[in-house]
Structure 1
């Protein structure tokens, strides 16, 4: 992926956000966000997961499927990247333990136009999980059950407060509907995700996403056109909640997919060397904590879901 400019060279044309602005988060929202993390952690531990510590810097990180400003640090004769996601580290971690999760800080220096989506921050926290030998259906079921437990937990403690903010709040009904990407695109056109999100009253899965729309590490289906992956879409226009799927784990297939995407093999040499040693098949996903908090609390923008929020195109404490 093309890097736009270096992290330390980024200056000019950005709006400064003062401390008072950055602290305009209701106490109740912070309590609900904290409970969301607590409930999700408890659910995963009961399901046999262990929590691992996040990776903040590494020679490798997610190349993403869109360009962002470079966020790298020169260190002696090498270079670290700030974590865009822990996708590669999750794949390696399940060699050690079969079910892992982490609350991973992600840095994605998005361009200014993303500030108006309501869904983007340049620093956010992702609940990342990965399961050795799992299939996509295993992750779909896991997440659906986890969402029910999270919503029950926050309802028990903060139901009255939540309903004053969000008249649509309810415990999700499972299983969630599954919508195939190409069928939705054919019916509604390129803006189908937004259209379906606004029409929906329950979360739904978007599955079988075309190969060109995703990174090289999601597993290619047998037809060679779509991936065994998924996004979870929130209703009422709140948009994407989760991204994940089954992973490519065979060295030659990974090289083939990197070639299709134009990824720099040398930039991911550390990862490829580990793949040569062998990594197990796995599946997993990442869940944006701020987006989930925004959805539960019916917030206008994810910046309202955390203290010290950093919106694209701005600089704040």
Structure 2
């Protein structure tokens, strides 16, 4: 790494550090409490795509490395109505994602959840969070950001909402990236089909789509956040698990907690490295992390 590359990496990390600080500052100003991340658990997010299993044998059983804190966020709302976590996630993606420039097998999400919230509450909050953080970054690092990313500008509310199925019908299977390349501002994909997501995203009244959303960055940077309203009623969760052909015995621990009662909630997870990449216009997400680990590689 030459001097110029070292300087770029140093300032990138400073921008990222400031973004993390400002995100936490914003959420605390809105009444959120930060909780500590969960790194290992008997079960974690099943995800809706295949990854290598990451489990640790211990005490006659297994711990899984956290793919996301979705279930722990729901349970944490029993203690406090607004929570957030800068949560390390490990997803051992398949080698075919190595060249995507968007995937790491170890990354950090800003996970947040609100008791009794709706999807619209989260959409509004995320817009304010993104705008606030970008303004603060521009104030402190404006010259550097605009030198690396001449397209940088602060978006305005409300962000565009685009329905998943309408976009797919118009543009085909690659609609997300087509829309991302066409847009100059972040936008939300909403009403994602039930087959595309996990069992915990709340099903809408049409029985086909979910009350959820993805935040899509412009200029081809793609998805940077996922979230929505959560299933919290026992019978609905069982029905959704059966739809996904899940083994209910494997989820006994979770279903016992559901029977005790889960708060109704909505929330999301925002990828810190993807946000950094978008802000600075980085060619590859590996440049948004000091010790980056790409799919299919072993790295420090």
Fold equivalence (TM over 0.5): yes
| Structure 1 residue aligned with 2:70 | 87
Q: Are residues 308 and 25 of structure 1, via their aligned partners in 2, closer, same or farther at CA, if it must alter by over 3 Å?
A: farther
Distance in 1 of aligned mates of 2:64 and 2:232: 23
| Structure 2 residue aligned with 1:75 | 58
Map 1:1-317; keep pairs closer than 5 Å.
26-317=9-300
Distance in 1 of aligned mates of 2:256 and 2:110: 26
1:178 match: secondary structure? strand
Distance in 2 of aligned mates of 1:263 and 1:217: 12
Q: Are residues 24 and 307 of structure 1, via their aligned partners in 2, closer, same or farther at CA, if it must alter by over 3 Å?
A: farther
1:85 match: secondary structure? coil
Distance in 1 of aligned mates of 2:212 and 2:185: 20
Compute the displacement of 1:264 (Å). Answer: 2.2
Distance in 1 of aligned mates of 2:177 and 2:209: 21
2:179 match: secondary structure? helix
Compute the displacement of 1:118 (Å). Answer: 1.0
Distance in 2 of aligned mates of 1:208 and 1:42: 30
Distance in 2 of aligned mates of 1:130 and 1:74: 30
Compute the displacement of 1:113 (Å). Answer: 1.0
Compute the displacement of 1:271 (Å). Answer: 1.1
1:193 match: secondary structure? helix
Compute the displacement of 1:24 (Å). Answer: 9.4
2:117 match: secondary structure? coil
Distance in 2 of aligned mates of 1:25 and 1:240: 24
Deviations 1:9-61 (A, max 9, x none): xxxxxxxxx9xxxx896101000000110010000000000000000000110
Measured on the aligned residues, the alpha-carbon RMSD in Å equals 1.4
Deviations 1:239-286 (A, max 9, x none): 001000000000110010000111222222211110000001100000
Distance in 1 of aligned mates of 2:298 and 2:204: 42
- In structure 2, the gaps of 5 or more residues are none
Deviations 1:111-152 (A, max 9, x none): 111111111000000000000000000000000001110000
TM-score of the two chains, using structure 1 as the length reference: 0.92
Q: How many residues align?
A: 297
1:241 match: secondary structure? strand
Distance in 2 of aligned mates of 1:224 and 1:162: 44
Distance in 1 of aligned mates of 2:251 and 2:72: 12
Confirm or deny: 8 A CA contact 1:25 1:307 kept in the other structure. no
TM-score of the two chains, using structure 2 as the length reference: 0.97
